[in-house]
Amino acid sequence: MLADGTTVTLPDTEENQVAYPQPSSQRKGLGFPQMRLVALPCLASGALLDAAEGPCKGKGSDEQTLFRGLLGNLREGDVLLGDAYFPTWFLLYALRRLGIDGVLEQYGARKRSTNFNIGTRLGTKDHVRPKPERPDWMSPQAYAAAPANLTVRELHTGGKTLVTTFLCPKDTPKGMLKALYGRRWQVALDVRNIKTTLGMQTLRCRTPEMARKALWSVLAPRRSAESNRQSAHPNARFVEDHHRALQQISRDAGQVEQQQGRLSAKEARAQEPPRPRT
């Protein structure tokens, strides 16, 4: 499964500004209302499982809050790929509680603060880390309810720091996780295709109610197609996704190893001393 967010621009009406205020990055009176959208498409089929919408400004308007409302669409055994807005320890805890694994990119501002010397070392810039301190937004009661022994893994590969619940470096080596996370770009392509093909970059609706109706008139057919496929074969999505993902990961990891082998061979030949002339 894939999770990603995007925004949709609305006409500058008073009603739209109240429901979907323009982001603080825009000067008042010079911007447009924006709706935030978090989509949950299926990697194997490309069908949309569900989506959540909300404002781009105010409490609870971030992508992770919207995504929490989509957790009910995931099943035990699923693997979630997500960008830098999703990898918090407590979201990973919520995933593991549902039997779901995640491979997420560390938030850019945290790259410099990732301390690979803490926790259990698995290799170069590769470790598992314990439960962090309670964040300001979390109540003491909710923090106490989270287990103390959940560990997550952080690894640096391909210029990125990834956060994952796959802890074993033998079963899930760096190359495999790098190849798997690389497929996350399919999310951006799917969302972009929907927006450009169906004209969703800017909705022309002058009220929030009509904007939501227009949005779901576009998304509903993609959801119904996936629902029909699942109702006909309840276990088909899990089996198909699992096998396709494993096959693709194996192919991608093999290509990475082949490329690394060719590069190593070229480096070895380049370091050989020139042969004397006879």
List the domain range (segments joined by +) for residue 4.
1-79+184-229+237-262
Containing H/E element for 81? strand 79-82
SS3 85: coil
Containing H/E element for 116? none
Q: Count up the domains in the chain and report the number.
A: 2
67 in any annotated domain = yes
Query: What is the C-alpha to C-alpha distance for residues 214 and 256, in angstroms, rounded to an integer?
Result: 43
Task: For residues 70 and 142, state if they share a domain.
Answer: no
Task: For residues 74 and 203, state if they share a domain.
Answer: yes
Task: For residues 209 and 253, state if they share a domain.
Answer: yes
Q: Which has more pLDDT, 94 or 46? A: 94
Tokens 């006879």 sit at which residue?
278
Stretch 174-178: mean pLDDT, rounded?
Answer: 92
Tokens found for residue 44:
């194997």
- The overall longest dimension of the chain from CA atoms, in Å, is 87
Query: What is the C-alpha to C-alpha distance for residues 51 and 37, in angstroms, rounded to an integer?
Result: 7
Tokens found for residue 250:
């194996």
Mode of pairing for the β-strands spanning 101-105 and 79-82: parallel
Q: Which has more pLDDT, 208 or 49? A: 208
Task: For residues 105 and 194, state if they share a domain.
Answer: no
Whether the per-residue pLDDT at 206 is higher than 60: the answer is: yes
Task: For residues 195 and 176, state if they share a domain.
Answer: no
pLDDT above 70 covers a percentage of the chain that reads: 76
- Residues 118-163 have pLDDT tens digits of 778 888 878 777 777 887 777 899 888 888 777 788 898 888 889 9
- Residues 221-265 have pLDDT tens digits of 766 555 554 544 444 444 445 445 545 554 555 554 555 556 555
272 in any annotated domain = no
- Among 4-13, 152-161, 179-188, 233-242, the range scoring the smallest mean pLDDT is 233-242
Tokens found for residue 19:
């429901």
Task: Estimate the crossing angle of helix 208-232 against helix 185-197, to 10 degrees.
Answer: 120
Task: For residues 147 and 14, state if they share a domain.
Answer: no
Task: For residues 169 and 37, state if they share a domain.
Answer: no
Containing H/E element for 95? helix 89-97
275 in any annotated domain = no
Q: Specify the pLDDT at position 189.
A: 78
Task: For residues 188 and 255, state if they share a domain.
Answer: yes
129 in any annotated domain = yes
Q: Specify the pLDDT at position 37.
A: 92
pLDDT band at 270 (very low <50, low <70, confident <90, very high): low
